[in-house]
Amino acid sequence: MVLQLHDLQELFGPPIEGSGEAAALADSPAAAQDCLRICTDSRQLQAGDGFVALVGERFDGHHFVADAIAQGARAVVFETARLDEAAGIGLQQLQQRAAERGCLLWGVNDGLDAYQQLGQRARQRLQVPVIAVTGSAGKTTTRELIRAVLAPLGPIWASRGNENNDIGVPLTLLGASPEHRAVVVEMGMRGLGEIERLSRCSEPDVAVITNIGTAHIGRLGSRDAIATAKCEISTALRPDGLVVIAAGDALLDAALAAVWSGRVLRVALAGDGLAAGTMTPDLVGSIDATGQQLQLASGAAVPLPLAGRHNARNLLLALAVAQELGVALSDLSGLEVDVPGGRNRRLLQGGLTVLDESYNASPEAVLAALDLLANESGRRFAVLGTMLELGEHSLDQHRRVAARAAELGLDGLVIVDAGAEGRTMAATAASLTHLAVVSTPEQAAEPLSAWLKAGDVLLLKASRGVALERLIPLLPEIPSFRS
């Protein structure tokens, strides 16, 4: 969404007083209507763009304020207090350079807050629905399923990659254009208050909460706190908006009821265990005998583009959004979805089938992946790495996952962790015929080379920090699968 200079003036007040051309531009009617794209990366800056200097964990955009002006930025927003320290240039000198290049300057107290205000302004300019998605697991997959089921409406804009945080959400909103018929925004969090900010920035029409699990429990301390944090998505939900959730979670029901009194639509798969006292689901589906279709209670059927009950449930969440926005189920006969790498990816490595779920992991996501593996034919193996940010709950959650692997009777398990979590998992899964503990993803190739043969299925699952995808290029080198 392209903003205008007068948006910056309305949000941040008059530009810093300059001289020459910049001063004239500030007062001209033409300048008030000038359109500009908002950019935070000077390497991508084009002449006429607006540049916002952000401070991150590993970067500081103030180092590039002068460069942005030299590259033709029409407007620059920076934190006044960081100018001398980070940019290495005083305000007076910066004003002079800006005046020479026709660039308007705005000094603010908080660059990130300013960027989110710009994202919010872009959202307010949009004349299409905004759908926000959060949850402990399945956010990205559900985001892509929503994008896919809304495709009959026309072009759909959605968060890309990991653009689900304080910077990514306004970036997504600013990237939408008038041609898009809906915007899907993913919202992640690491603590209380983050999703509240993202909700205020995006002002959603529909909010989707995939589930309440134990991801980030080390930071928040309990599932109750996680539920509270996820339900912050309703903070700036339109009063006539809709929240879509999976049925049967009493904790989620209670947390949502505490902050939202508007419409709620609950979905469930036939056979889901629903907690006593929870609300009856509004949309129910079942996986047909082929595993290829989702049958709805209405009699309609929709293709299942991704395997597993967890993905069927995610599709139900997406279908609830489609229903809200008027998409006919008959328009979804050719439903396809493309998820980012390391999620729901099925690879063939010679005679080996690899279920690549290596991108990230929470306890609930690992359990879902193990159930997916359990439904595969042939011998079943898994490489599991540690799950991060579980705090004092870490050993219990790793024990829980390993117990499920043992219960399923996997033909082999490689644990990528030589620390306490790895030892706990190994002790819990000691009944498995083949079991190994290694320190790195690359070391997992050694036990696998002794175990695997053509026709086997191998699951890869771990938190992002484990980088389990480093094992994948080594799999074709295992003698049994050399072509």
Whichever domain contains 58, its CATH number is 3.40.1390.10
CB 43 within 8 A of CB 51: no
Q: What is the pTM of this model?
A: 0.88
The mean per-residue pLDDT over the stretch 63-90 comes to 85
Where residue 361 sits, what CATH number does that domain have?
3.90.190.20
- Per the prediction, the chain carries an average pLDDT of 91
Residue 248 forms part of a structural domain: yes
Give the burial string for 347-372 (b: 16+ CB within 10 Å, else e).
eebeebbbbbbbbbbbbbbbbbbbeb
The token pair that represents 377 in the structure block: 């034919």
The token pair that represents 292 in the structure block: 């290829």
CA 209 to chain centre: 12
Q: Please report the pLDDT score of residue 33 as a whole number.
A: 54
Residue 459 and residue 429 share a domain: yes
Residue 219 and residue 102 share a domain: no
User: CA dihedral in degrees (168, 174, 176, 181; nearest 10)?
Assistant: 90
Interatomic CA distance for residues 283 and 268, integer angstroms: 7
Where in the sequence is the domain holding 109, given as residue range(s)? Answer: 3-114
- What three-state secondary structure class fits 92? helix
Residue 167 and residue 104 share a domain: no
Residue 170 CB: number of other CB atoms within 10 A? 30
Q: Fill in the DSSP letter of residue 326.
A: T
Residue 239 and residue 154 share a domain: yes
- pLDDT per position as a tens digit, 388-433: 889 999 999 999 999 999 999 999 999 999 999 999 999 999 999 9
Residue 153 forms part of a structural domain: yes
DSSP 402-423: HHHHHHTT-SEEEEE--SHHHH
Q: Please report the pLDDT score of residue 338 as a whole number.
A: 83
Residue 351 and residue 321 share a domain: no
**Strand duo 301-303 + 293-296: pairing:** antiparallel
CA 25 to chain centre: 40
- What three-state secondary structure class fits 7? helix
Residue 161 forms part of a structural domain: yes
CB 363 within 8 A of CB 214: yes
- Domain C-terminal end among 308, 332, 356: 332
pLDDT at 200 over 60: yes
Which residues pair with residue 77 across a beta bridge?
A: 52, 106
- pLDDT per position as a tens digit, 331-368: 998 888 888 777 788 888 878 999 999 888 889 999 99
Interatomic CA distance for residues 371 and 236, integer angstroms: 36
Residue 170 and residue 296 share a domain: yes
CB 206 within 8 A of CB 132: yes
The mean per-residue pLDDT over the stretch 7-34 comes to 66
Residue 278 and residue 130 share a domain: yes
Alpha carbon distances (Å) from 28 to 2, 9, 75, 403: 20, 13, 15, 70
Residue 162 forms part of a structural domain: yes
Q: Which are the contacts of 103, defined by CB distance < 8 A and separation ≥ 6?
A: 22, 69, 73, 74, 75, 76, 97
Residue 372 and residue 289 share a domain: no
Rounded to a whole number of angstroms, the distance between the first and last alpha carbons of the chain is 50
Which residues pair with residue 266 across a beta bridge?
A: 245
The token pair that represents 285 in the structure block: 């589906």
The mean per-residue pLDDT over the stretch 300-306 comes to 92
Interatomic CA distance for residues 445 and 449, integer angstroms: 6
Which residues pair with residue 415 across a beta bridge?
A: 384, 437
| Least confident among 145-154, 205-214, 257-266, 289-298 | 289-298
Residue 121 forms part of a structural domain: no
Residue 160 and residue 47 share a domain: no
- pLDDT per position as a tens digit, 209-233: 999 988 878 888 899 999 999 999 9
Residue 339 forms part of a structural domain: no
Confidence of residue 19 (pLDDT cuts 50, 70, 90): very low
The mean per-residue pLDDT over the stretch 161-178 comes to 94
- Domain C-terminal end among 62, 84, 114: 114
- Domain C-terminal end among 332, 362, 388: 332
Q: How many domains does the chain have?
A: 3
Residue 194 forms part of a structural domain: yes
- pLDDT per position as a tens digit, 446-472: 999 999 999 999 999 999 899 999 999
CA-closest candidate to residue 145, choices 283, 343, 316, 270: 316
Residue 472 and residue 324 share a domain: no
Residue 44 CB: number of other CB atoms within 10 A? 10
Residue 38 and residue 172 share a domain: no
Residue 349 and residue 266 share a domain: no
Residue 228 forms part of a structural domain: yes
Where residue 210 sits, what CATH number does that domain have?
3.40.1190.10
